[in-house]
Structure 1
Amino acid sequence: MREVGIGDLARQVGMRPSALRYYESIGLLPPARRVAGRRVYPVRTARRIALIRMAQRAGFTLAEIRQLLDAEADRGITRHWRTLAELKLPELDRFIQETQALRNAVADCLACACMNFDSCQLLTHDDSERT
Protein backbone atom coordinates (compact mmCIF):
# COMPACT_ATOMS: atom_id res chain seq x y z
CA MET A 1 0.00 0.00 0.00
CA ARG A 2 1.45 3.33 -1.06
CA GLU A 3 1.42 6.08 1.58
CA VAL A 4 2.00 9.81 1.62
CA GLY A 5 3.10 12.14 4.41
CA ILE A 6 0.70 14.69 5.82
CA GLY A 7 2.53 17.63 4.23
CA ASP A 8 2.48 16.06 0.78
CA LEU A 9 -1.16 15.08 1.17
CA ALA A 10 -2.05 18.60 2.28
CA ARG A 11 -0.35 20.09 -0.80
CA GLN A 12 -2.00 17.53 -3.06
CA VAL A 13 -5.53 18.39 -1.84
CA GLY A 14 -4.91 22.14 -1.32
CA MET A 15 -5.37 22.15 2.44
CA ARG A 16 -3.26 22.86 5.49
CA PRO A 17 -1.87 19.96 7.51
CA SER A 18 -3.71 21.35 10.54
CA ALA A 19 -7.03 20.89 8.71
CA LEU A 20 -6.16 17.27 8.01
CA ARG A 21 -5.26 16.74 11.67
CA TYR A 22 -8.61 18.31 12.60
CA TYR A 23 -10.47 16.04 10.18
CA GLU A 24 -8.71 13.10 11.77
CA SER A 25 -9.54 14.29 15.31
CA ILE A 26 -13.29 14.47 14.53
CA GLY A 27 -13.36 11.13 12.73
CA LEU A 28 -13.62 12.29 9.11
CA LEU A 29 -10.27 10.70 8.37
CA PRO A 30 -9.14 7.41 9.87
CA PRO A 31 -6.22 7.68 12.29
CA ALA A 32 -2.98 8.04 10.38
CA ARG A 33 -0.23 5.52 10.73
CA ARG A 34 2.93 6.92 12.29
CA VAL A 35 6.32 6.52 10.69
CA ALA A 36 9.18 8.02 12.71
CA GLY A 37 6.57 10.06 14.58
CA ARG A 38 5.06 11.56 11.42
CA ARG A 39 1.56 10.94 10.10
CA VAL A 40 1.31 9.01 6.87
CA TYR A 41 -1.91 8.29 5.02
CA PRO A 42 -2.82 5.83 2.31
CA VAL A 43 -2.85 7.54 -1.09
CA ARG A 44 -6.61 6.84 -1.36
CA THR A 45 -7.14 9.37 1.47
CA ALA A 46 -7.07 12.14 -1.16
CA ARG A 47 -10.24 10.65 -2.66
CA ARG A 48 -11.94 10.66 0.75
CA ILE A 49 -10.97 14.31 1.22
CA ALA A 50 -12.41 15.12 -2.22
CA LEU A 51 -15.70 13.55 -1.08
CA ILE A 52 -15.64 15.57 2.15
CA ARG A 53 -15.01 18.83 0.30
CA MET A 54 -17.73 18.12 -2.29
CA ALA A 55 -20.19 17.43 0.50
CA GLN A 56 -19.17 20.66 2.25
CA ARG A 57 -19.71 22.66 -0.95
CA ALA A 58 -23.14 21.04 -1.22
CA GLY A 59 -23.97 22.38 2.23
CA PHE A 60 -23.52 19.30 4.38
CA THR A 61 -22.18 19.93 7.87
CA LEU A 62 -19.11 18.10 9.12
CA ALA A 63 -21.39 16.13 11.46
CA GLU A 64 -23.56 15.05 8.51
CA ILE A 65 -20.48 14.12 6.51
CA ARG A 66 -19.21 12.04 9.41
CA GLN A 67 -22.55 10.20 9.53
CA LEU A 68 -22.23 9.52 5.83
CA LEU A 69 -18.69 8.22 6.20
CA ASP A 70 -19.68 6.11 9.21
CA ALA A 71 -22.49 4.61 7.12
CA GLU A 72 -19.96 3.86 4.39
CA ALA A 73 -17.87 1.90 6.88
CA ASP A 74 -20.98 -0.04 7.92
CA ARG A 75 -21.96 -0.58 4.25
CA GLY A 76 -25.24 1.29 4.79
CA ILE A 77 -24.07 4.20 2.66
CA THR A 78 -26.66 3.98 -0.14
CA ARG A 79 -29.69 4.25 2.13
CA HIS A 80 -28.05 6.80 4.40
CA TRP A 81 -26.81 8.94 1.50
CA ARG A 82 -30.30 8.96 -0.02
CA THR A 83 -31.82 10.11 3.27
CA LEU A 84 -29.27 12.89 3.77
CA ALA A 85 -29.49 14.01 0.14
CA GLU A 86 -33.30 14.13 0.19
CA LEU A 87 -33.17 16.31 3.30
CA LYS A 88 -30.49 18.57 1.78
CA LEU A 89 -32.16 19.21 -1.60
CA PRO A 90 -34.77 21.72 -0.35
CA GLU A 91 -32.03 23.63 1.47
CA LEU A 92 -29.94 23.74 -1.71
CA ASP A 93 -32.97 24.89 -3.72
CA ARG A 94 -33.48 27.80 -1.28
CA PHE A 95 -29.78 28.68 -1.51
CA ILE A 96 -29.95 28.69 -5.31
CA GLN A 97 -33.02 30.96 -5.28
CA GLU A 98 -31.37 33.38 -2.84
CA THR A 99 -28.14 33.41 -4.84
CA GLN A 100 -30.04 34.01 -8.09
CA ALA A 101 -31.89 36.94 -6.48
CA LEU A 102 -28.55 38.41 -5.36
CA ARG A 103 -27.10 37.90 -8.82
CA ASN A 104 -30.09 39.68 -10.36
CA ALA A 105 -29.72 42.57 -7.90
CA VAL A 106 -26.05 43.01 -8.84
CA ALA A 107 -26.92 42.85 -12.55
CA ASP A 108 -29.67 45.47 -12.03
CA CYS A 109 -27.18 47.74 -10.28
CA LEU A 110 -24.72 47.36 -13.14
CA ALA A 111 -27.45 48.09 -15.68
CA CYS A 112 -28.53 51.18 -13.74
CA ALA A 113 -25.01 52.59 -14.17
CA CYS A 114 -25.67 55.49 -11.78
CA MET A 115 -22.90 54.23 -9.48
CA ASN A 116 -24.17 56.58 -6.79
CA PHE A 117 -25.43 54.57 -3.84
CA ASP A 118 -26.86 57.64 -2.10
CA SER A 119 -29.35 58.43 -4.87
CA CYS A 120 -29.79 55.12 -6.73
CA GLN A 121 -33.47 54.40 -7.27
CA LEU A 122 -32.83 50.66 -6.99
CA LEU A 123 -31.70 51.11 -3.39
CA THR A 124 -34.48 53.47 -2.32
CA HIS A 125 -36.83 51.88 0.21
CA ASP A 126 -40.07 52.99 1.72
CA ASP A 127 -39.35 52.73 5.47
CA SER A 128 -42.98 51.71 6.09
CA GLU A 129 -42.29 48.41 4.23
CA ARG A 130 -39.72 47.34 6.83
CA THR A 131 -42.13 46.86 9.72
Structure 2
Amino acid sequence: MDEATLTIGQVAKRAGIKTSAIRYYERVGLLPEPERHGGQRRYTDETIQRLGVIDVAKRAGFTLTDARVLLAADRDGAPAHQEIRQLAQRKLPEVEALIHRAEAMKQWLTVASDCNCNTLDVCGLFEREPDANEATDGSLRLTYTG
Protein backbone atom coordinates (compact mmCIF):
# COMPACT_ATOMS: atom_id res chain seq x y z
CA MET A 1 0.00 0.00 0.00
CA ASP A 2 1.16 3.55 -0.71
CA GLU A 3 2.37 5.69 2.13
CA ALA A 4 -0.37 7.95 3.50
CA THR A 5 1.06 11.38 2.78
CA LEU A 6 -1.76 13.37 1.18
CA THR A 7 -3.82 15.83 3.21
CA ILE A 8 -7.58 16.01 2.83
CA GLY A 9 -7.17 19.30 0.96
CA GLN A 10 -4.74 17.75 -1.51
CA VAL A 11 -7.06 14.80 -2.11
CA ALA A 12 -10.05 17.11 -2.56
CA LYS A 13 -8.16 19.23 -5.08
CA ARG A 14 -6.91 16.25 -7.08
CA ALA A 15 -10.32 14.57 -7.05
CA GLY A 16 -12.21 17.79 -7.80
CA ILE A 17 -14.53 17.53 -4.80
CA LYS A 18 -15.07 19.27 -1.47
CA THR A 19 -13.40 18.11 1.71
CA SER A 20 -16.86 17.73 3.25
CA ALA A 21 -17.68 15.10 0.59
CA ILE A 22 -14.58 13.12 1.56
CA ARG A 23 -15.58 13.23 5.23
CA TYR A 24 -19.12 12.16 4.29
CA TYR A 25 -17.85 9.23 2.23
CA GLU A 26 -15.78 8.17 5.23
CA ARG A 27 -18.82 8.39 7.53
CA VAL A 28 -20.97 6.23 5.25
CA GLY A 29 -18.21 3.69 4.67
CA LEU A 30 -17.32 4.38 1.04
CA LEU A 31 -13.82 5.37 2.09
CA PRO A 32 -11.85 3.70 4.85
CA GLU A 33 -10.92 5.69 7.93
CA PRO A 34 -7.64 7.42 7.02
CA GLU A 35 -4.42 7.25 8.94
CA ARG A 36 -3.68 10.25 11.10
CA HIS A 37 -0.34 11.98 11.48
CA GLY A 38 -0.09 14.85 13.92
CA GLY A 39 -3.88 14.89 14.23
CA GLN A 40 -4.40 15.33 10.48
CA ARG A 41 -6.02 12.84 8.17
CA ARG A 42 -3.52 11.41 5.71
CA TYR A 43 -4.49 9.62 2.53
CA THR A 44 -2.94 7.50 -0.19
CA ASP A 45 -3.35 7.57 -3.96
CA GLU A 46 -5.78 4.68 -3.52
CA THR A 47 -8.22 7.13 -1.96
CA ILE A 48 -8.16 9.21 -5.13
CA GLN A 49 -8.81 6.07 -7.20
CA ARG A 50 -11.79 5.17 -5.00
CA LEU A 51 -13.13 8.72 -5.32
CA GLY A 52 -12.83 8.33 -9.10
CA VAL A 53 -14.98 5.19 -8.98
CA ILE A 54 -17.56 7.01 -6.85
CA ASP A 55 -17.59 9.98 -9.24
CA VAL A 56 -18.01 7.86 -12.36
CA ALA A 57 -20.75 5.81 -10.68
CA LYS A 58 -22.63 8.97 -9.66
CA ARG A 59 -22.33 10.50 -13.15
CA ALA A 60 -23.67 7.24 -14.62
CA GLY A 61 -26.74 7.61 -12.42
CA PHE A 62 -25.83 5.02 -9.82
CA THR A 63 -26.56 5.51 -6.14
CA LEU A 64 -23.91 5.59 -3.45
CA THR A 65 -25.11 2.12 -2.47
CA ASP A 66 -24.30 0.98 -6.01
CA ALA A 67 -20.89 2.63 -5.72
CA ARG A 68 -20.33 0.72 -2.49
CA VAL A 69 -21.13 -2.54 -4.32
CA LEU A 70 -18.61 -1.67 -7.04
CA LEU A 71 -15.91 -0.76 -4.55
CA ALA A 72 -16.53 -3.95 -2.55
CA ALA A 73 -16.47 -6.10 -5.69
CA ASP A 74 -13.11 -4.65 -6.61
CA ARG A 75 -11.70 -5.59 -3.20
CA ASP A 76 -13.15 -9.10 -3.04
CA GLY A 77 -10.64 -10.43 -5.53
CA ALA A 78 -13.45 -11.71 -7.76
CA PRO A 79 -13.85 -10.17 -11.21
CA ALA A 80 -15.58 -6.82 -10.77
CA HIS A 81 -17.04 -7.02 -14.27
CA GLN A 82 -19.95 -9.16 -13.03
CA GLU A 83 -21.07 -6.44 -10.63
CA ILE A 84 -20.54 -3.75 -13.23
CA ARG A 85 -22.57 -5.71 -15.77
CA GLN A 86 -25.44 -6.33 -13.33
CA LEU A 87 -25.64 -2.69 -12.27
CA ALA A 88 -25.45 -1.49 -15.88
CA GLN A 89 -28.18 -3.89 -17.02
CA ARG A 90 -30.41 -2.65 -14.20
CA LYS A 91 -29.70 1.04 -14.94
CA LEU A 92 -30.00 0.92 -18.73
CA PRO A 93 -33.84 0.79 -18.92
CA GLU A 94 -34.02 3.80 -16.59
CA VAL A 95 -31.68 5.77 -18.83
CA GLU A 96 -33.61 4.75 -21.95
CA ALA A 97 -36.83 6.03 -20.33
CA LEU A 98 -35.10 9.32 -19.48
CA ILE A 99 -33.89 9.67 -23.06
CA HIS A 100 -37.40 9.02 -24.36
CA ARG A 101 -38.81 11.67 -22.05
CA ALA A 102 -36.05 14.15 -22.97
CA GLU A 103 -36.78 13.62 -26.68
CA ALA A 104 -40.48 14.34 -26.06
CA MET A 105 -39.55 17.46 -24.09
CA LYS A 106 -37.24 18.63 -26.89
CA GLN A 107 -40.00 18.15 -29.45
CA TRP A 108 -42.48 20.12 -27.31
CA LEU A 109 -39.95 22.91 -26.63
CA THR A 110 -39.13 23.17 -30.33
CA VAL A 111 -42.80 23.70 -31.13
CA ALA A 112 -43.21 26.04 -28.13
CA SER A 113 -40.33 28.21 -29.33
CA ASP A 114 -42.42 29.08 -32.40
CA CYS A 115 -45.67 29.66 -30.46
CA ASN A 116 -47.62 32.79 -31.40
CA CYS A 117 -50.66 32.23 -29.16
CA ASN A 118 -51.97 35.29 -27.32
CA THR A 119 -53.33 33.37 -24.32
CA LEU A 120 -52.71 29.98 -22.76
CA ASP A 121 -56.37 28.95 -22.93
CA VAL A 122 -56.23 28.91 -26.75
CA CYS A 123 -52.74 27.46 -27.02
CA GLY A 124 -52.63 23.86 -28.20
CA LEU A 125 -49.38 23.34 -26.33
CA PHE A 126 -51.26 23.12 -23.06
CA GLU A 127 -54.25 20.99 -24.02
CA ARG A 128 -54.39 17.76 -22.15
CA GLU A 129 -56.81 14.93 -22.61
CA PRO A 130 -56.17 12.66 -19.59
CA ASP A 131 -56.42 9.34 -21.40
CA ALA A 132 -54.91 10.36 -24.71
CA ASN A 133 -51.83 12.03 -23.29
CA GLU A 134 -50.81 9.43 -20.73
CA ALA A 135 -47.79 7.48 -21.82
CA THR A 136 -47.55 3.82 -20.94
CA ASP A 137 -44.95 4.60 -18.28
CA GLY A 138 -47.28 7.05 -16.52
CA SER A 139 -45.50 10.19 -17.69
CA LEU A 140 -47.33 12.93 -19.54
CA ARG A 141 -46.88 12.88 -23.29
CA LEU A 142 -45.89 16.30 -24.48
CA THR A 143 -47.83 16.90 -27.67
CA TYR A 144 -48.98 19.82 -29.72
CA THR A 145 -52.56 19.62 -30.95
CA GLY A 146 -52.93 23.08 -32.53
Contact 1:56 1:62 in 2 (8 A): yes
Taking structure 1 as the reference length, the TM-score comes to 0.81
Residue number in structure 2 paired with 1:8:
10
Question: Sequence identity, in percent?
Answer: 35
Equivalenced residues, count? 130
Quote how far apart the aligned CAs of 1:85 are. Answer: 1.5
Equivalences for residues 1-131 of structure 1 within 5 A: 1=2, 3-76=5-78, 77-112=80-115, 114=116, 118=120, 119-126=122-129
| Greater per-residue helix proportion | 1
Paired with 2:35 and 2:118, the residues of 1 have a C-alpha distance of: 59
Say if 2:35 and 2:43, in contact at 8 Å, map to a contact too. yes
Mapped contact 1:58–1:92 kept (Cα < 8 A): no
Q: What's the offset of the Cα at 1:32?
A: 1.3
Q: Decide which structure has the larger Cα Rg and report it.
A: 2
* Alpha-carbon separation, structure 2, partners of 1:116 and 1:30: 60
TM-score of the pair, normalised by structure 2: 0.74
Equivalent position amino acid for 2:111 in 1: D
Question: Which string of whole-angstrom CA distances, capped at 9 and with x for unpartnered residues, describes residues 26-81 of structure 1?
Answer: 22112211121111211342232122111112111111110111111002212222
Distance in 2 (alpha carbons) for counterparts of 1:104 and 1:29: 43
SS in 2 for 1:4: coil
Which structure 2 segments of 5+ residues have no match?
135-146
Q: How many Å separate the matches in 1 of 2:9 and 2:103?
A: 38
Query: Do the aligned partners of 2:50 and 2:71 also contact (CA within 8 Å) in 1?
Result: no
CA RMSD of aligned residues (A): 2.5
Distance 2:128 2:93 in 1: 30
Distance 1:88 1:53 in 2: 16
